A and B are shown apart, each in its own frame.
Chain A
Amino acid sequence: MLNQKGQIFSLDFILSLAIIILAIGMMLQFMELQEYNQREAEIQNELYSIGETASLLLVSNPAFTCQMTNTIETVDLMPVMGCILIGAPPSHEITRDGLGIPSDYSCEIYAEGITRYDGGAPSGDISSNIITECTDDFGTANPDNYYSSEREVVFVAATSSENIHKSELYHECVKGEPPLSCGLESGTIEIRVWKT
Protein backbone atom coordinates (compact mmCIF):
# COMPACT_ATOMS: atom_id res chain seq x y z
CA MET A 1 0.00 0.00 0.00
CA LEU A 2 2.92 2.30 0.69
CA ASN A 3 3.81 2.62 -2.94
CA GLN A 4 0.37 3.75 -4.05
CA LYS A 5 -0.02 7.48 -4.44
CA GLY A 6 -1.85 9.26 -1.70
CA GLN A 7 -2.93 6.05 0.06
CA ILE A 8 -1.16 6.69 3.37
CA PHE A 9 -2.32 10.29 3.65
CA SER A 10 -5.96 9.58 2.81
CA LEU A 11 -6.55 6.44 4.89
CA ASP A 12 -4.61 7.55 7.94
CA PHE A 13 -6.10 10.99 7.83
CA ILE A 14 -9.68 9.79 7.43
CA LEU A 15 -9.30 7.24 10.21
CA SER A 16 -7.72 9.67 12.64
CA LEU A 17 -10.31 12.32 11.75
CA ALA A 18 -13.12 9.87 12.43
CA ILE A 19 -11.67 9.00 15.83
CA ILE A 20 -11.15 12.64 16.73
CA ILE A 21 -14.70 13.57 15.66
CA LEU A 22 -16.03 10.68 17.73
CA ALA A 23 -14.04 11.87 20.76
CA ILE A 24 -15.27 15.44 20.31
CA GLY A 25 -18.85 14.19 19.99
CA MET A 26 -18.54 12.24 23.22
CA MET A 27 -17.04 15.25 24.97
CA LEU A 28 -19.85 17.51 23.75
CA GLN A 29 -22.44 14.99 24.89
CA PHE A 30 -20.82 14.84 28.31
CA MET A 31 -20.79 18.64 28.53
CA GLU A 32 -24.45 18.81 27.54
CA LEU A 33 -25.32 16.20 30.15
CA GLN A 34 -23.40 18.14 32.78
CA GLU A 35 -25.22 21.36 31.87
CA TYR A 36 -28.59 19.56 32.05
CA ASN A 37 -27.71 18.09 35.46
CA GLN A 38 -26.66 21.51 36.68
CA ARG A 39 -29.95 23.08 35.60
CA GLU A 40 -31.92 20.26 37.24
CA ALA A 41 -29.92 20.76 40.44
CA GLU A 42 -30.71 24.50 40.35
CA ILE A 43 -34.44 23.80 40.06
CA GLN A 44 -34.24 21.18 42.82
CA ASN A 45 -32.27 23.48 45.13
CA GLU A 46 -34.78 26.32 44.71
CA LEU A 47 -37.68 23.95 45.39
CA TYR A 48 -35.93 22.56 48.46
CA SER A 49 -35.16 26.05 49.77
CA ILE A 50 -38.78 27.20 49.37
CA GLY A 51 -40.22 23.97 50.79
CA GLU A 52 -37.91 23.93 53.79
CA THR A 53 -38.71 27.55 54.62
CA ALA A 54 -42.46 26.90 54.29
CA SER A 55 -42.24 23.83 56.52
CA LEU A 56 -40.39 25.81 59.20
CA LEU A 57 -42.75 28.79 59.04
CA LEU A 58 -45.80 26.51 59.18
CA VAL A 59 -44.98 25.59 62.77
CA SER A 60 -43.29 28.80 63.89
CA ASN A 61 -44.96 31.83 62.29
CA PRO A 62 -46.74 33.68 65.13
CA ALA A 63 -49.34 34.84 62.61
CA PHE A 64 -50.95 31.42 62.63
CA THR A 65 -49.61 29.47 65.60
CA CYS A 66 -51.19 29.53 69.07
CA GLN A 67 -50.49 32.19 71.65
CA MET A 68 -49.94 31.26 75.27
CA THR A 69 -51.71 33.68 77.59
CA ASN A 70 -52.03 34.13 81.31
CA THR A 71 -55.17 32.81 82.98
CA ILE A 72 -57.32 35.85 82.54
CA GLU A 73 -56.27 36.07 78.88
CA THR A 74 -55.16 39.65 78.93
CA VAL A 75 -51.48 39.16 78.37
CA ASP A 76 -49.93 37.24 75.49
CA LEU A 77 -46.96 35.44 76.98
CA MET A 78 -45.44 33.95 73.82
CA PRO A 79 -46.27 32.22 70.56
CA VAL A 80 -46.16 28.43 70.86
CA MET A 81 -44.12 26.77 68.12
CA GLY A 82 -45.60 23.55 66.78
CA CYS A 83 -49.10 24.45 67.95
CA ILE A 84 -51.56 24.78 65.06
CA LEU A 85 -55.05 26.28 65.31
CA ILE A 86 -57.87 24.34 63.70
CA GLY A 87 -60.99 26.14 62.62
CA ALA A 88 -59.01 29.34 63.10
CA PRO A 89 -60.56 32.73 62.35
CA PRO A 90 -59.53 34.38 59.04
CA SER A 91 -57.04 36.56 60.92
CA HIS A 92 -55.04 33.40 61.61
CA GLU A 93 -55.24 31.99 58.09
CA ILE A 94 -52.11 30.16 56.93
CA THR A 95 -51.26 32.33 53.95
CA ARG A 96 -48.83 31.68 51.10
CA ASP A 97 -46.95 34.86 51.98
CA GLY A 98 -46.78 33.75 55.60
CA LEU A 99 -45.14 30.53 54.42
CA GLY A 100 -42.82 32.34 52.00
CA ILE A 101 -44.20 30.55 48.94
CA PRO A 102 -43.84 32.63 45.72
CA SER A 103 -46.69 32.87 43.21
CA ASP A 104 -45.02 30.46 40.75
CA TYR A 105 -45.23 27.60 43.26
CA SER A 106 -48.23 25.56 44.41
CA CYS A 107 -48.83 24.09 47.85
CA GLU A 108 -51.14 21.75 49.75
CA ILE A 109 -51.47 21.05 53.47
CA TYR A 110 -52.63 17.76 54.95
CA ALA A 111 -53.35 17.48 58.68
CA GLU A 112 -54.29 14.51 60.81
CA GLY A 113 -55.26 14.39 64.49
CA ILE A 114 -53.96 11.23 66.15
CA THR A 115 -54.32 11.44 69.95
CA ARG A 116 -56.69 13.49 72.07
CA TYR A 117 -55.36 14.33 75.51
CA ASP A 118 -58.80 14.34 77.15
CA GLY A 119 -59.35 10.71 76.14
CA GLY A 120 -61.80 11.43 73.31
CA ALA A 121 -61.68 9.86 69.86
CA PRO A 122 -58.95 11.25 67.60
CA SER A 123 -60.33 13.40 64.82
CA GLY A 124 -58.42 11.84 61.89
CA ASP A 125 -58.15 13.86 58.68
CA ILE A 126 -58.69 17.49 59.65
CA SER A 127 -57.20 19.09 56.53
CA SER A 128 -60.51 20.77 55.71
CA ASN A 129 -60.51 22.44 59.15
CA ILE A 130 -57.14 24.08 58.57
CA ILE A 131 -57.85 27.58 57.28
CA THR A 132 -55.22 28.10 54.60
CA GLU A 133 -54.49 29.45 51.13
CA CYS A 134 -52.50 26.28 50.42
CA THR A 135 -55.35 24.38 48.82
CA ASP A 136 -53.87 23.34 45.46
CA ASP A 137 -54.68 19.78 44.46
CA PHE A 138 -51.52 17.69 44.58
CA GLY A 139 -53.29 14.66 43.10
CA THR A 140 -54.46 16.55 40.02
CA ALA A 141 -51.13 18.33 39.50
CA ASN A 142 -49.18 15.08 39.95
CA PRO A 143 -45.83 16.89 39.71
CA ASP A 144 -42.57 15.10 38.91
CA ASN A 145 -40.62 17.15 41.42
CA TYR A 146 -42.06 18.20 44.73
CA TYR A 147 -41.00 18.95 48.29
CA SER A 148 -42.85 17.24 51.12
CA SER A 149 -42.32 17.53 54.84
CA GLU A 150 -44.33 16.08 57.73
CA ARG A 151 -44.06 17.44 61.28
CA GLU A 152 -45.49 16.34 64.59
CA VAL A 153 -47.58 19.13 66.06
CA VAL A 154 -50.33 19.88 68.57
CA PHE A 155 -53.71 21.08 67.35
CA VAL A 156 -55.96 23.43 69.29
CA ALA A 157 -59.59 23.94 68.37
CA ALA A 158 -60.04 27.66 67.90
CA THR A 159 -63.82 27.65 68.23
CA SER A 160 -63.89 29.26 71.67
CA SER A 161 -60.45 30.77 71.90
CA GLU A 162 -57.37 30.99 69.74
CA ASN A 163 -55.10 30.89 72.74
CA ILE A 164 -53.74 28.40 75.22
CA HIS A 165 -54.14 29.39 78.85
CA LYS A 166 -50.97 28.78 80.79
CA SER A 167 -52.75 27.38 83.85
CA GLU A 168 -55.05 25.14 81.81
CA LEU A 169 -52.08 23.77 79.93
CA TYR A 170 -50.27 22.99 83.14
CA HIS A 171 -53.13 21.70 85.29
CA GLU A 172 -55.34 19.96 82.76
CA CYS A 173 -52.98 18.96 79.97
CA VAL A 174 -49.71 18.32 81.80
CA LYS A 175 -50.94 17.14 85.24
CA GLY A 176 -54.30 15.77 84.07
CA GLU A 177 -56.25 17.42 86.88
CA PRO A 178 -60.03 17.76 86.74
CA PRO A 179 -61.95 19.17 85.04
CA LEU A 180 -60.00 17.42 82.30
CA SER A 181 -60.83 19.71 79.41
CA CYS A 182 -57.45 19.85 77.73
CA GLY A 183 -58.33 20.98 74.23
CA LEU A 184 -55.06 19.80 72.72
CA GLU A 185 -54.72 16.96 70.25
CA SER A 186 -51.44 15.63 68.94
CA GLY A 187 -51.09 14.84 65.27
CA THR A 188 -49.13 15.50 62.12
CA ILE A 189 -49.17 18.23 59.53
CA GLU A 190 -47.69 17.75 56.08
CA ILE A 191 -46.90 20.42 53.52
CA ARG A 192 -46.27 19.71 49.85
CA VAL A 193 -44.76 22.33 47.55
CA TRP A 194 -44.17 22.09 43.82
CA LYS A 195 -43.41 24.35 40.86
CA THR A 196 -46.60 25.36 39.05
Chain B
Amino acid sequence: MQRGQISIDLTLTILVAMLFLQGMAILMTDIAESQQNISIRSQGRAILNEVARLYTLNEELSDLEIGYTVPKIRGIGERRPFDCEINYADPQLTLDIDLDGDGAYGVTPEELAVAVTRDTTPLSGAFPINCGATVTIG
Protein backbone atom coordinates (compact mmCIF):
# COMPACT_ATOMS: atom_id res chain seq x y z
CA MET B 1 0.00 0.00 0.00
CA GLN B 2 1.39 3.38 -0.94
CA ARG B 3 1.73 6.17 1.56
CA GLY B 4 -1.34 8.30 1.84
CA GLN B 5 -3.63 5.65 0.29
CA ILE B 6 -5.74 5.27 3.44
CA SER B 7 -6.12 9.00 3.79
CA ILE B 8 -7.45 9.39 0.24
CA ASP B 9 -9.82 6.42 0.65
CA LEU B 10 -11.07 7.76 3.94
CA THR B 11 -11.53 11.27 2.58
CA LEU B 12 -13.42 9.98 -0.45
CA THR B 13 -15.57 7.71 1.69
CA ILE B 14 -16.45 10.49 4.10
CA LEU B 15 -17.21 12.83 1.20
CA VAL B 16 -19.48 10.30 -0.52
CA ALA B 17 -21.13 9.40 2.79
CA MET B 18 -21.80 13.06 3.54
CA LEU B 19 -23.28 13.65 0.10
CA PHE B 20 -25.43 10.54 0.48
CA LEU B 21 -26.65 11.56 3.93
CA GLN B 22 -27.38 15.06 2.66
CA GLY B 23 -29.42 13.60 -0.20
CA MET B 24 -31.25 11.30 2.21
CA ALA B 25 -32.03 14.20 4.54
CA ILE B 26 -33.51 16.23 1.66
CA LEU B 27 -35.52 13.22 0.51
CA MET B 28 -36.86 12.52 3.99
CA THR B 29 -37.81 16.17 4.43
CA ASP B 30 -39.69 16.09 1.12
CA ILE B 31 -41.49 12.88 2.08
CA ALA B 32 -42.41 14.22 5.52
CA GLU B 33 -43.69 17.47 3.99
CA SER B 34 -45.67 15.59 1.37
CA GLN B 35 -47.25 13.33 4.03
CA GLN B 36 -48.04 16.36 6.16
CA ASN B 37 -49.74 18.11 3.22
CA ILE B 38 -51.75 15.01 2.35
CA SER B 39 -52.90 14.64 5.93
CA ILE B 40 -53.89 18.32 6.28
CA ARG B 41 -55.68 18.45 2.91
CA SER B 42 -57.53 15.24 3.69
CA GLN B 43 -58.78 16.63 7.02
CA GLY B 44 -59.68 19.91 5.27
CA ARG B 45 -61.70 18.12 2.59
CA ALA B 46 -63.57 16.09 5.20
CA ILE B 47 -64.48 19.31 7.03
CA LEU B 48 -65.67 21.02 3.83
CA ASN B 49 -67.77 17.98 2.85
CA GLU B 50 -69.51 18.04 6.21
CA VAL B 51 -70.03 21.82 6.21
CA ALA B 52 -71.41 21.69 2.65
CA ARG B 53 -73.74 18.83 3.59
CA LEU B 54 -75.14 20.51 6.71
CA TYR B 55 -75.60 23.93 5.08
CA THR B 56 -77.27 22.33 2.04
CA LEU B 57 -79.69 20.40 4.27
CA ASN B 58 -80.41 23.58 6.22
CA GLU B 59 -80.98 25.48 2.97
CA GLU B 60 -83.51 22.97 1.67
CA LEU B 61 -85.17 21.76 4.88
CA SER B 62 -86.28 25.02 6.44
CA ASP B 63 -87.42 23.62 9.78
CA LEU B 64 -84.00 22.23 10.58
CA GLU B 65 -81.62 23.56 13.22
CA ILE B 66 -78.21 21.96 13.50
CA GLY B 67 -75.45 22.58 16.04
CA TYR B 68 -72.03 21.70 14.64
CA THR B 69 -68.51 22.03 15.99
CA VAL B 70 -65.99 22.38 13.19
CA PRO B 71 -63.06 20.04 13.93
CA LYS B 72 -59.54 21.41 14.22
CA ILE B 73 -56.80 20.30 11.87
CA ARG B 74 -53.83 18.47 13.34
CA GLY B 75 -50.51 17.91 11.60
CA ILE B 76 -48.42 14.76 11.92
CA GLY B 77 -46.23 15.10 15.02
CA GLU B 78 -47.61 18.58 15.77
CA ARG B 79 -48.62 19.17 19.39
CA ARG B 80 -50.98 22.05 18.68
CA PRO B 81 -53.70 22.05 16.03
CA PHE B 82 -53.50 24.57 13.18
CA ASP B 83 -55.94 27.46 13.11
CA CYS B 84 -58.14 27.42 10.04
CA GLU B 85 -61.00 29.36 8.53
CA ILE B 86 -63.88 28.44 6.22
CA ASN B 87 -65.09 31.04 3.73
CA TYR B 88 -67.88 30.94 1.18
CA ALA B 89 -68.12 32.79 -2.13
CA ASP B 90 -70.81 31.42 -4.43
CA PRO B 91 -70.38 28.66 -5.62
CA GLN B 92 -67.35 27.64 -3.59
CA LEU B 93 -66.41 26.86 0.00
CA THR B 94 -62.74 27.44 0.81
CA LEU B 95 -60.75 26.27 3.80
CA ASP B 96 -57.58 28.25 4.52
CA ILE B 97 -55.04 27.22 7.12
CA ASP B 98 -52.56 29.15 9.25
CA LEU B 99 -49.53 26.86 9.19
CA ASP B 100 -46.96 29.27 10.60
CA GLY B 101 -49.10 30.61 13.45
CA ASP B 102 -48.86 34.26 12.32
CA GLY B 103 -52.63 34.76 12.45
CA ALA B 104 -52.97 35.08 8.65
CA TYR B 105 -54.72 32.38 6.62
CA GLY B 106 -53.69 30.99 3.25
CA VAL B 107 -50.87 33.46 2.56
CA THR B 108 -47.53 31.64 2.27
CA PRO B 109 -46.85 29.16 -0.57
CA GLU B 110 -47.00 26.33 2.00
CA GLU B 111 -50.40 27.52 3.23
CA LEU B 112 -51.71 27.91 -0.31
CA ALA B 113 -50.55 24.36 -1.09
CA VAL B 114 -52.77 22.89 1.64
CA ALA B 115 -55.84 25.13 1.08
CA VAL B 116 -58.85 23.15 -0.20
CA THR B 117 -62.04 24.15 -2.02
CA ARG B 118 -65.40 22.50 -2.61
CA ASP B 119 -68.13 23.55 -5.06
CA THR B 120 -71.65 23.72 -3.62
CA THR B 121 -75.13 24.85 -4.49
CA PRO B 122 -76.00 28.39 -3.23
CA LEU B 123 -75.72 28.59 0.55
CA SER B 124 -76.59 31.22 3.12
CA GLY B 125 -75.01 31.68 6.52
CA ALA B 126 -72.46 33.66 8.45
CA PHE B 127 -68.95 33.17 7.09
CA PRO B 128 -66.06 32.93 7.85
CA ILE B 129 -66.23 30.10 10.36
CA ASN B 130 -63.15 29.27 12.43
CA CYS B 131 -62.10 25.69 13.06
CA GLY B 132 -62.97 24.64 16.60
CA ALA B 133 -65.97 26.99 16.68
CA THR B 134 -69.48 25.70 17.31
CA VAL B 135 -72.03 27.06 14.85
CA THR B 136 -75.80 26.84 14.89
CA ILE B 137 -77.05 26.29 11.38
CA GLY B 138 -80.69 27.15 10.88
With A9-B9, A35-B34, A45-B46 in contact, is A104–B119 under 8 Å at CB?
yes
Cβ contact within 8 Å between B60 and A61: yes
Cβ contact within 8 Å between B56 and A53: yes
Cβ contact within 8 Å between B60 and A63: yes
Cβ contact within 8 Å between A53 and B61: no
Main secondary structure of the interface of A (DSSP, over half): helix
Chain A contacts for B14, CB-based, 8 A? none
Interface size on B, residues (CB 8 A): 32
Cβ contact within 8 Å between B45 and A45: yes
A164 within 8 A of B: no
Instruction: List the one stretch of B35-43, B67-75, B102-110, B126-134 in contact with chain A.
Output: B35-43
Cβ contact within 8 Å between B41 and A42: yes
Quick one: CB contact mask for B29-58 with A, threshold 8 Å, 1 for yes?
A: 001001100100110011001101100110
CA distance A17 to B24 in the complex (A): 12
Chain A contacts for B46, CB-based, 8 A? 45
CA distance A98 to B59 in the complex (A): 9
Quick one: CB contact mask for B79-123 with A, threshold 8 Å, 1 for yes?
A: 000000000000100000000000000000000000000111110
With A46-B45, A102-B119 in contact, is A60–B61 under 8 Å at CB?
yes
Cβ contact within 8 Å between A35 and B122: no
A103 within 8 A of B: yes
CA distance A61 to B38 in the complex (A): 36
Find the B residue at minimum CB distance from A105: B119
A-B contacts, 15 listed (Cβ < 8 Å): A17-B20, A24-B27, A31-B34, A35-B38, A46-B49, A49-B53, A50-B52, A57-B60, A57-B61, A61-B61, A63-B60, A97-B121, A100-B60, A100-B121, A102-B121
Closest 6 CB pairs of A and B: A100-B56, A102-B119, A49-B49, A97-B121, A61-B60, A42-B45
